[in-house]
């Protein structure tokens, strides 16, 4: 079987275009700020009563930003060089911790939350949407719909607080913070894995609840026209069994939802980043709030880059999978 | 008057993920329309006849070959010249349910071409005239209707009136009656004959149906897989088809008179 | 597409008429919408919130930002919804904060939709090269998580101005929220511009501008209205995000800043439900109104929407 080379090249080049767009935005936006970001940050640290800070640090900060009298394209090249060496600078809020090592600890937790919640939400949402679509215009359909609409209308982080309140503060069923119990050493053993699952249950549940509505409604609205279509009529007349027909319609309704899957990665990363700070989950989101509060530009830029790389890779993988699943990707030359 | 010279058209189609394939829709097709004649272009589906229609109105451009109109090459014209050309060469689509804008009234559809072509007379009067011409009588009754309020046959008449508003020299009709009830087909075809007789407009009638072809056309071309396989006066070709393909097409056409 | 559409036409008189068409289209869609019961409920919700907001502009029981009460009082006769941890009256904040919240939601919805519509139609109607450039830009904004952009642009605004007004909040939200709509409008424009009635107008000699204003915008009006609701929902949620992340102006009173302060003072841990629930419920109420309207729209428009979505894939003839 020949590989779909052209498709892969298309998607991969799009990947690099977006990647360079994003890192360039990351480079230029702080430089568009009038004045010197290093001075802004330095003043900010002084104001916060930062200890161990002296004027030489200002020069160090300027160096961190690659701010020099050098022309902008040289700065840009230096930025790119540093980037590919994994040198993301030193955090200001967590001085003198390098940004890269902070993110190396935080990113896996975020990815874990995103990957598990998005997959569960996708499958459950599609199944619920299928259930609603098959029982269209019945009380079952209506209740699934209302559930979906209600969940979609709730501000995600308020839901997080309510769940935290009910299950952690008062119910004491789930933990209040952290990714695993204090004093545990991470490792591939059962108690640790159970502890991780236990700590991630509430964050994951929240993200599932707030994102499931879209899948439910999308699947419902895709499967109904499919069930009404000529090919299903034909299959019925050929004597296919009821469940077979539903499965055929479901499979065909699933493909458009799969493109949505790639798109939803960005959205659920947003959700996860917000949730993490609420559940005090040691992912990227927790650090991001600190970074914004302290105008920690190096940390913010690092977060921006790492998350975008992760999201882009996720998108690429989904796109490539989709290419294999849908043989109809087709284009006319007109 | 209008002719195609060795026109070929290739489409690039991506099949699945395995790169693309070139599909040749037309190869070296040469047809010509004479003044005031009704020309038939006949072929089964997939024979490239719709592509040829779209090339003739320059919605598609030929991959190779030329379109000649009044002795000048129009294959690559654009802008003002293209607009001018399309005032002369118009097209009627197959599906009258798709070719009228559902959000606009019958009157709008006929008024727009008059406004665009800067019609000098009384526009409202001309709209009425055109509606009467295509036998949508009384015009007042139809003018303010929307496409979904009238029947398929009436829609096709509205479309023909829209085209006539530009005062064209040639009308290319791509399967104009295939979506209509059999009883309505003959009326629309009569309308085309009348348009030719009264205004001297050349008509290219594209179809798969040899019965209707025999009713109105003077000459025909038979198209098979993008190649012209037979041509000649309608009578000759239908009486003595040289190609197997043509014979099959003739056999496939239900003969309305046989049953009577 | 460019090949098909490269006839230019100097006729531009009709544009104002086209705009009138557009407006009548909006009015028509809304009129049609209100015949649906779900949409009616959604509309009533928005109407109620609107009245609440207008009242709030002119009247609130106490100055919303004045620290004139005891801290953290539960609801009582003087403070209908209790007081905040700083001694402000919660109900006064709720009613005074309604107008700015709705303002952000509606301006993001309206401006965001207009921008996506312009970009989407432009891209759907332009040549291959322009189209792929627009497509790449849209994809960047789609793929990059909105929160990151809010962070980036928010801190940028923080860097140039210490005080963030609503304008910058609205700008941030439009920047992060226009791309979804642009993608939708692009694909719908592409599909409509291949329809025969548009081809017919091209053949008749209609200009691009005329086709866009008279025909395309008219045909996609239900999607435009639906996109407005979605973008307004994004604006509502986005406002809470902006405030929650602390890149907005936290001295302003709106439902987003109310949540920020309640959360920052851990109102949920100290049992001050009267501080955190009212703004949450109002926000959900607003979102629910938009969702219901969207649902109603979907029910009405689906028969015609299906024409866009359910385009039969053209079979390639085996012999061809």
Split into its structural domains, chain A has a count of 1
For B17, the closest of A329, A332, A334 (CB atoms) is A329
Does residue C247 lie in a domain region? yes
Q: Which of A33, A169, A289 sits opposite C159 (nearest CB)?
A: A33
Q: What is the pLDDT of residues A7-29, one digit of tens each?
A: 677 777 877 887 888 788 777 77
**Interchain CB contact of A322 with B (< 8 Å):** no
Residue A176 belongs to domain with CATH number: 1.10.3720.10
Inter-chain CB proximity B13 and A333 less than 8 Å: yes
> What are the tens digits of pLDDT across the range C80-104?
888 888 888 889 999 999 999 999 9
Give a yes or no: residue C130 inside a domain.
Answer: yes
Minimal Cβ distance to C140: which of A18, A153, A297:
A18
Counted domains in chain C: 1
pLDDT digits (tens, 9 = 90+) for B203-232: 999 988 888 888 889 999 999 888 999 888
- A interface mutation test: which of B15, B17, B25 has the most A CBs within 10 A? B17
User: Which stretches of chain A score pLDDT less than 70?
Assistant: 1-7, 30, 32-41, 43-55, 57, 60-70, 322-334
| Contact with chain C for residue B46, Cβ under 8 A | yes
Percent of all residues in chain C with a pLDDT value above 70, rounded to a whole number: 81
Any domain includes A62: no
Q: pLDDT by residue (tens digit) across B225-256?
A: 889 998 888 888 888 888 888 888 887 776 55
Question: Does C265 reside within a domain?
Answer: no
Search chain C and give the residue with CA nearest A147: C288
Residue A210: which domain range?
5-34+88-333
The pLDDT mean for chain C works out to 79
Chains that touch B (3 or more CB pairs under 8 A): A, C
Name the interface residues of C facing B (CB cutoff 8 Å).
3-4, 6-9, 11, 25, 195-197, 199-206, 214-215, 218-219, 316-317, 319-320
pLDDT of residue A167: 83
Query: Taking CA atoms, what residue in A is nearest to B10?
Result: A333
Chain B residues whose beta carbon lies within 8 Å of the beta carbon of residue C199: 59, 93, 99
Which tens digit of pLDDT belongs to each residue from C137-158? 888 788 778 888 887 777 777 7
Q: Is the pLDDT of residue B57 over 80?
A: yes
CA distance B222 to B230: 5
Across the interface, whether the CB atoms of A330 and B13 are under 8 A apart is answered yes
Neighbours of chain A (3+ CB pairs under 8 A): B, C
Number of Cβ within 10 Å of residue C129's Cβ equals 9
User: Which CATH number characterizes residue C5's domain?
Assistant: 1.10.3720.10
Who has greater pLDDT, C15 or A82? Answer: A82
Whether A56 maps to a domain, the answer reads no
Reduced 3-state DSSP string for chain A: CCCCHHHHHHHHHHHHHHHHHHHHHHHHHHHHCCCCHHHHHHHHHHHCCCCCCCHHHHHHHHHHCCCCCCCHHHHHHHHHHHHHCCCCCECCCCCCCEHHHHHHHHHHHHHHHHHHHHHHHHHHHHHHHHHHHHCCCCHHHHHHHHHHHHHHHCCHHHHHHHHHHHHHHHCCCCCCCCCCCCCCCCCCCHHHHHHHHHHHHHHHHHHHHHHHHHHHHHHHHHHHHHHCCHHHHHHHHCCCCHHHHHHHHHHHHHHHHHHHHHHHHHHHHHHHHHHHHHCCCCCHHHHHHHHHHCCCHHHHHHHHHHHHHHHHHHHHHHHHHHHHHCCCCCCECC
Q: Are A288 and C139 in contact (CB < 8 Å)?
A: no
Given this model, what pLDDT does residue A276 score? Answer: 87
- Please list every residue in chain C whose beta carbon sits closer than 8 Å to the beta carbon of residue A273: 145, 147-148
Residue A74 lies in a domain: no
| pLDDT tens digits for range C199-248 | 999 999 888 888 888 888 888 887 888 889 989 998 998 888 888 887 77
Tell me which chain C residue has its CA closest to the CA of residue A301.
C152
Query: Which architecture does CATH list for B2-96+169-252?
Result: 3-Layer(aba) Sandwich (3.40)
Residue A3: closest CA among chain B residues belongs to which residue?
Answer: B18
A171 in a domain, yes or no? yes
Put simply, whether the predicted model's pTM sits higher than 0.90 gets the answer: no
What is the residue range of C191's domain?
Answer: 1-33+98-252
């Amino acid at each position: 079987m020949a590989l779909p080379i052209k498709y892969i090249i298309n998607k991969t080049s799009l990947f690099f275009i977006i990647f360079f767009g994003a890192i360039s935005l990351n480079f230029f936006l702080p430089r568009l700020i009038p004045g010197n970001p290093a001075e802004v940050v330095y003043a900010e640290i002084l104001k916060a009563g930062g200890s161990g800070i002296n004027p030489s640090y200002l020069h160090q900060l300027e160096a961190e930003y690659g701010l020099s009298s050098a022309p902008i394209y040289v700065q840009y090249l230096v930025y790119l060089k540093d980037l590919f060496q994994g040198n993301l600078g030193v955090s200001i809020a967590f001085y003198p911790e390098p940004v890269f090592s902070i993110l190396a600890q935080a990113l896996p937790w975020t990815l874990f939350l995103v990957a598990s919640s998005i997959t569960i939400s996708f499958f459950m949402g599609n199944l619920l949407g299928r259930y609603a679509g098959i029982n269209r215009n019945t009380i079952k359909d209506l209740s699934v719909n209302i559930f979906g609409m209600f969940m979609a209308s709730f501000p995600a982080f308020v839901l997080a607080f309510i769940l935290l309140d009910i299950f952690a503060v008062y119910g004491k069923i789930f933990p209040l913070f952290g990714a695993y119990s204090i004093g545990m050493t991470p490792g591939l053993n059962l108690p640790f894995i159970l502890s991780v699952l236990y700590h991630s249950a509430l964050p994951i549940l929240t993200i599932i609840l707030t994102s499931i509505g879209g899948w439910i409604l999308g699947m419902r609205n895709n499967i109904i026209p499919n069930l009404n279509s000529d090919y299903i009529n034909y299959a019925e007349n050929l004597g296919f069994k009821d469940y077979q027909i539903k499965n055929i319609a479901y499979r065909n309704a699933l493909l458009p939802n799969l493109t949505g899957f790639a798109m939803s990665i960005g959205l659920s990363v947003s959700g996860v980043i917000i949730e993490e700070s609420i559940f005090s989950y040691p992912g990227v989101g927790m650090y991001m709030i600190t970074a914004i509060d302290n105008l920690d530009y190096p940390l913010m830029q690092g977060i921006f880059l790492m998350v975008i790389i992760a999201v882009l890779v996720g998108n690429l993988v989904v796109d490539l999978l989709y290419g294999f699943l849908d043989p109809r990707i087709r284009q006319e030359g007109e | 008057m209008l002719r195609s010279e060795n026109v070929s058209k290739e489409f690039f189609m991506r099949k699945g993920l395995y790169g693309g394939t070139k599909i040749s829709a037309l190869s070296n097709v040469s047809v010509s329309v004479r003044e005031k004649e009704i020309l038939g272009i006949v072929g089964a589906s997939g024979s490239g006849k719709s592509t040829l229609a779209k090339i003739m109105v320059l919605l598609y451009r030929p991959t190779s070959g030329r379109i000649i109109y009044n002795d000048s090459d129009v294959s690559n014209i654009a802008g003002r010249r293209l607009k001018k050309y399309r005032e002369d060469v118009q097209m009627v689509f197959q599906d009258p349910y798709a070719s009228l804008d559902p959000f606009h009234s019958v009157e709008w559809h006929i008024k727009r071409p008059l406004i665009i072509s800067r019609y000098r007379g009384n526009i409202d009067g001309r709209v009425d005239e055109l509606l009467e011409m295509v036998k949508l009588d009384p015009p007042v009754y139809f003018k303010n209707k929307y496409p979904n309020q009238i029947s398929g046959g009436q829609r096709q008449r509205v479309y023909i009136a829209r085209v006539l508003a530009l005062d064209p020299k040639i009308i290319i009709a791509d399967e104009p009656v295939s979506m209509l009830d059999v009883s309505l087909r003959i009326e629309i075809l009569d309308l085309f004959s009348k348009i030719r007789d009264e205004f001297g407009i050349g008509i290219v009638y594209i179809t798969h149906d040899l019965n209707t072809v025999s009713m109105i056309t003077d000459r025909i071309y038979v198209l098979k897989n993008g190649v012209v396989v037979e041509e000649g006066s309608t009578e000759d070709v239908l009486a003595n088809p040289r190609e197997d393909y043509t014979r099959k097409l003739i056999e496939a056409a239900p003969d309305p008179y046989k049953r009577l | 597409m460019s090949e098909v559409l490269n006839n230019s036409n100097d006729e531009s008189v009709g544009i104002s008429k086209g705009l009138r068409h557009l407006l009548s289209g909006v009015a028509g869609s809304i009129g049609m919408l209100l015949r649906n019961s779900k949409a009616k409920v959604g509309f009533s919700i928005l109407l109620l919130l609107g009245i609440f907001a207008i009242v709030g502009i002119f009247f609130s029981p106490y100055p919303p930002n004045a620290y004139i009460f005891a801290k953290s009082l539960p609801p009582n006769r003087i403070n209908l919804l209790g007081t905040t941890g700083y001694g402000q009256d919660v109900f006064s904040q709720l009613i005074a904060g309604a107008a700015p919240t709705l303002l952000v939601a509606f301006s993001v919805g309206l401006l965001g939709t207009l921008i996506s519509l312009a970009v989407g139609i432009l891209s759907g109607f332009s040549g291959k090269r322009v189209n792929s450039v627009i497509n790449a830009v849209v994809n960047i904004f789609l793929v990059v998580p909105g929160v990151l952009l809010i962070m980036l642009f928010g801190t940028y605004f923080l860097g140039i101005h210490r005080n963030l007004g609503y304008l910058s909040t609205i700008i941030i939200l439009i920047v992060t929220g226009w791309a979804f709509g642009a993608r939708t409008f692009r694909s719908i424009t592409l599909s409509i511009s291949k329809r025969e009635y548009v081809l017919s107008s091209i053949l008749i000699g209609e200009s691009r501008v005329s086709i866009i204003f008279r025909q395309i915008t008219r045909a996609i009006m239900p999607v435009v209205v639906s996109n407005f609701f979605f973008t307004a929902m994004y604006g509502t949620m986005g406002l809470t995000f902006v405030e929650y992340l602390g890149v907005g102006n936290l001295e302003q009173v709106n439902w987003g800043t109310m949540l920020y302060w309640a959360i920052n003072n851990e109102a949920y841990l100290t049992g001050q439900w009267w501080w955190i629930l009212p703004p949450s419920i109002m926000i959900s109420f607003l979102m629910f109104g938009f969702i219901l309207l969207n649902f109603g729209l979907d029910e009405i428009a689906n028969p015609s929407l299906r024409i866009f979505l359910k385009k039969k894939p053209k079979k390639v003839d085996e012999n061809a």
